[in-house]
Amino acid sequence: MPTIRRFANCKIAIYADDHIPPHFHIEGRDFRAVVEIETLSIRAGDVRRAAEAMQWASSNIDALRAEWARLNQRG
């Protein structure tokens, strides 16, 4: 699971061969969340302590899409 970006209290990661829809994980001390890349909708967990990560993600959707595609090639 490559870490895409680290922040003071959490990190953004994308798992290889993961389920759809394309999403990323925010992992921090005592909290986790799954966020859909296209809509930035929270699919699971809590992002209240991950404002910095969500702000970065909203400005870097193209990079998240590209990393998802690279790690989740099927075929």
pLDDT in tens, 5-16: 999 999 999 999
What pLDDT, on the 0 to 100 scale, is given for residue 1? 63
Q: 3-state class of 57 per DSSP?
A: helix
- Rounded Cα distance, 4 and 12, in Å: 5
Specify the residue for token string 């895409």.
4
Q: 28-72: per-residue pLDDT in tens?
A: 999 999 999 999 999 999 999 999 999 999 999 999 999 999 999
Q: What is the average pLDDT score of the chain?
A: 94
Distance (Å) of CA 68 to CA 8, 30, 49, 54, 60: 23, 25, 24, 17, 12
Average the pLDDT over 11-22 and give the result: 95
Confidence of residue 2 (pLDDT cuts 50, 70, 90): confident
